[in-house]
Structure 1
Amino acid sequence: MSEATKKTQREFFTTRTVAEALAGFRPDHRAPVETVPLAEALHRVPAADIPSPHALPGFVKSTVDGYAVRAADTYGSSDGLPSYLDLLGAVRMGAAPEVTVRPGGCAAMPTGGVLPDGADAVVMVEYTAETMPGTIEVTRPVAPGGGLVRADEDVAAGAPLVPAGRPLRAPDLGLLAAAGVTSVAVHARPRVAIISTGDEVVPPATVELSAGQVRDATASALAGLVADAGGEPVIAGIVGDEPGALKDRLTEVLADADLVVVSAGSSVGARDETAGAVAAVGAVWCHGLAIKPGKPTLLADCGGIPLIGLPGNPLSALVVFGQVGVPLLWRLSGCETPPPVPSTRAQLSRDLASAAGRLDVVQVRLWDGVAEPVFGPSALLSVLTRADGYLVVPEPATGLDAGTEVEVMLYR
């Protein structure tokens, strides 16, 4: 953590840009390492490079169906002046060749077969014909190494099969399996404790609401974002606004969490209690982000465990967590560069105003290559559910004109 993390009360109302937060709020904490079977490793992040125990594919193999040959025997071959080779035998799949290719000879070769001794290339079957039993006509020349892969062309012995710090993809699992690696050491899914606050917030299962009460929608949505980014969400309940209650709950959850997320209630008192409680258990890095929606955001280091204090309005909370929380979660997973968000290009349907120095995140609907902004109060989750994605008005900009081509980050 940088020296800025050690600052305390004087940071409470210091607003940082999102870029500053992403670059400067970089906790050293990482989720612990565990070993998992290959079948459970998709999207997990290796804790270290995984070296290949041997070369892959491990033998010189054919990439085409055809005939193993000595390349020199095919030089000058053409449709008008073909070469003729003696068929000496055939290579069987999954077995060592029992034939040796001598000058003027060839062996039938399947894709993936082991190259027999004496041969240095494979000519494609499309450029051959069996003109008479035991004689193969070749109408195209092949260079040495043609139609082949080397024994270490996929991976050399000892070279990394997959690197540390990058989520494993489906092809990675295939390469690991090809090398005989059946389990991998990866960072555990970061445990994210989600605390909701506010006297007005009640559990989603509440059937009848009293005047002023709201069901806790943010915790469920945050849990979905956490799971989607590879974390393990832990719903840590609702804490009222009474003094000391949030501090006590933070002390409890920090003992078993890799990240703590506090979703504030909508009252000013709840936000004040969050700032004070966090200051009592950790060091506040910033209290305020230059982002719309979501300015009243708090970032802190609590004994090495990062904490995010989110705005009380659901839309604001989810937008901020997407911009700051998700990259932080990937970092805790051992991944320095989060996987890219799917996106598309579209033309903006109307002018968008913004303020320089502030990142604006605007929800949009897409139709026929046009991005139409979706507006509404930040207390309304339906603004997000009606959107196909969002665009970002960068911090230096003062707005975007209608017709501007924009990049829209897509919701999955």
Structure 2
Amino acid sequence: MSGREFFTARTLAEVRAGFRPARRTPVEQVPLSRALHRVPAADITAPAALPGFARSTVDGFAVRAMDTYGASDGLPSYLDLIGAVRMGAAPTVAVRAGGCVAMPTGGVIPDGADAVVMVEYTAETMPGTIEVTRPVAPGGGIVRADEDVVAGGVLAPAGRPLRAPDLGFLAAAGVTTVAVHRRPRVAIISTGDEVVPPGTVELAAGQVRDATASALAGLVADAGGEPVIAGIVPDEPGALKERLTEILAESDLVVVSAGSSVGARDETAGAVAAIGDIWCHGIAIKPGKPTLLAECSGVPLVGLPGNPLSALVVFGQVGIPLLWRIAGCEAPPPQPSTRARLSRDLASAAGRLDVVQVAVRDGVAEPIFGPSALLSVLTRADGYMIVPEPATGLDAGTEVEVILYR
């Protein structure tokens, strides 16, 4: 086994802080219709202030605030109704002392007014006279012309994936195309003489269909990448090195499924060492310890364990953050989570981070156990929880954070 032992295992925190490849995808212009979850390459700024004019936030009457001071149900203020503002049109009247103008929500504030009193606090006691029963402060019921954003202000920051509200904000500012990082191209290679394509109808003894590549492709697509299933490489000396050499030039990230352990058939470390630099081989995480991280010609590479559960768990913890970084996002968007009470005692080993699959029912997290070769453990889980490195276990009833699967 000389030369095939694990390197000293790194903690997950060390991996995330230390393995930081410089590679970023190039920048491209895309329309807003294709910009959801894309990562801006630079701050997107407002060409003009928004909303661009002072507008009413309520249905009511534009007034001078001082004309409402002291108004109450018992002693209302009376104002002359001198006109109305139409939606989508500039005001044709101005507010004078003792007067008011009828306002729709979103209407342009007429000159002379510094507040809008809600219609609920008014009544038309006689034609042309409005009774006001609540005072309003200056600025009440009004959005300033630059309250959403000032001219030149940041509409969407660089490095944060665009969300649906961001697209609306950009559209309101008249920004219809944005400069974003291209989606990372992620090549997924499967290895092993026993692995056959999913479409294989009849399995020979010892053969298994390639389930991991399809699941990894789903994780990549869900994180905004473009998965490329790059085929199955047999356990032949030199075969993996040759395939890696072929796909590096067209990939932003390479994922090798299986072959990263230390068995006699496991070729990933040797193939990668021949064409690149291994950063670590072994992460203090369960499942997924035999994970390999490297760079080959400037392209990051993740070598995953062969068991599907281990491969998917560790790719979620290491590969997804790496994919987002390549796409220009330093911190992956947070996943939905919930708090739940642990249903049973949970053992762990100090110095190792454990990722535990759980089902959540009525606020209780029930751990799901099973061999790391079984994908059903993941399909039955609602999410996962983390037992941190220093812990030697968690007691039943402990409140834990469960990261939910979408």
Which whole-Å CA distance do the structure 1 matches of 2:340 and 2:28 have between them?
42
- State which drifts further: 293-302 or 257-266: 257-266
What CA deviation, in whole Å up to 9, does each residue of 1:46-69 have, x standing for no partner? 111000000000001000111111
Which one of 280, 284, 290 corresponds to residue 286 of structure 1?
A: 280
2:326 match: 332
2:212 to 218, 224, 227: 218
Match of 2:338 among 333, 341, 344: 344
Match of 1:353 among 331, 342, 347: 347
1:404 is matched by which residue type in structure 2? T
Aligned to 1:111: 105
Q: What is aligned with 2:263? A: 268
After superposition, the C-alpha distances for 1:290-318 in whole angstroms (9 at most, x for unaligned) are 11111111000112111000000000000
Aligned counterparts of 1:37 and 1:223: Cα–Cα separation in 2: 25
Q: Against the structure 1 CA distance between its residues 104 and 325, is the aligned structure 2 distance closer, same or farther, given a 3 Å change threshold?
A: same
In the other structure, the counterpart of 1:4 is none
Residue 164 of structure 2 is aligned to residue 170 of structure 1: yes
What one-letter code is carried by the residue in structure 2 that aligns with 1:101? V
State how far apart, in whole Å, the 1-side matches of 2:341 and 2:95 are: 63
Post-superposition shift, 1:160? 0.4
Do structure 1's residue 19 and structure 2's residue 13 form an aligned pair?
yes
Partner of 2:81: 87
The Cα shift of 1:269 comes to 3.6
Q: How far apart, CA to CA, are the structure 1 residues paired with 2:12 and 2:37?
A: 26
Give 1:5's aligned residue: none
Q: 2:400 aligns with which of 389, 406, 410?
A: 406
| Deviating 4+ runs (over 3 angstroms) | 9-12
Residues in 2 aligned to 1:381 and 1:242: alpha-carbon distance in whole angstroms: 27
Counterparts of 1:193 and 1:68, CA distance in 2: 61
| Cα offsets for 1:12-39 (capped at 9, x unmatched) | 6221111110110011111111111101
CA contact (8 A) 1:196 1:264 kept: yes
Task: Tell me the CA shift for residue 345 of structure 1.
Answer: 1.2
Secondary structure of 2:232's counterpart equals strand
The SS at the match of 1:384 is helix
* 2:72 alignment partner, one of 59, 73, 78: 78
CA-to-aligned-CA distance 1:64-92 (integer Å, 9 cap, x gap): 11111111111111111111111111001
1:3 aligned partner: none
Alignment of 1:380-395 (within 5 A): 380-395=374-389
What residue ranges of structure 2 are gaps of 5+ in the alignment?
Answer: none
Matched, 1:374 2:358: no
**Residues 1:314 and 2:314 aligned together:** no
State the TM-score, normalizing by the size of structure 1: 0.96
Matching residue of 1:6:
none
Two-structure CA RMSD over aligned residues (Å): 1.4
Match of 1:46 in 2: 40
Deviations 1:213-234 (A, max 9, x none): 1100000000000011111100
Out of 19, 24, 29, which is 1:30 matched to? 24
Greater shift in the superposed pair: 10-19 or 112-121: 10-19
Match status 1:253 vs 2:264: no
Q: Give SS of 2:106's match.
A: coil
Q: Could you give the per-residue CA deviations for residues 91-134 of structure 1, whole angstroms, max 9, x where no partner exists?
A: 01001100111111111111100011111111111111111111
The 2-side partners of 1:30 and 1:399 are apart by 39
Provide the C-alpha distance between the structure 1 equivalents of 2:140 and 2:354, rounded to a whole number of angstroms: 55
Give the superposition deviation at 1:353. 1.3
- Corresponding residue of 1:297: 291
Q: Is the contact between residue 6 and residue 262 of structure 2 (CA under 8 Å) also seen in structure 1? A: no
Matching residue of 2:234: 240
The 3-state SS of whatever aligns with 1:126 is helix
Rounded Cα–Cα distance in structure 1 between residues aligned with 2:359 and 2:67: 64
Distance of 1:200 and 1:131 partners within structure 2: 87
**Counterpart of 2:250 in 1: which secondary structure?**
coil
Check whether the contact 1:11–1:284 (CA below 8 A) recurs between aligned residues.
no
Q: CA deviation at 1:11?
A: 9.8
TM-superposition CA deviations, 1:182-208 (whole Å, max 9, x none): 111111111000000011100000011
What letter corresponds to residue 268 of structure 1 in structure 2? G
- Maintained 8 Å contact 1:193/1:257: yes
Aligned residues: 403
Cα deviation, 1:243-263, whole Å, max 9, x if unaligned, reads: 111011101111011100000
Q: Which amino acid aligns with 2:234?
A: G
Q: Check if 1:99 corresponds to 2:64.
A: no
Contact preservation (8 Å) 1:264, 1:270: no
Question: Percent same amino acid at aligned positions?
Answer: 84
Give 3-state SS (helix, strand or coil) of 1:155's partner.
coil
- Unmatched tracts of structure 1, length 5 or more: 1-8
SS in structure 2 at match of 1:268: coil
What pairs up with 1:58-77 in 2 under 5 angstroms?
58-77=52-71
Aligned to 1:56: 50
Distance across 1 between alignment mates of 2:93 and 2:264: 85
CA 1:114 to 1:208, structure 2 compared with 1: closer, same or farther past 3 Å?
Answer: same
- SS class of match (1:366): strand
Q: For residue 261 of structure 1, what is the amino acid of its counterpart?
A: V
Cα distance, 1:401 vs structure 2: 1.3
Instruction: Report the Cα offset of residue 40 of structure 1.
Output: 1.0
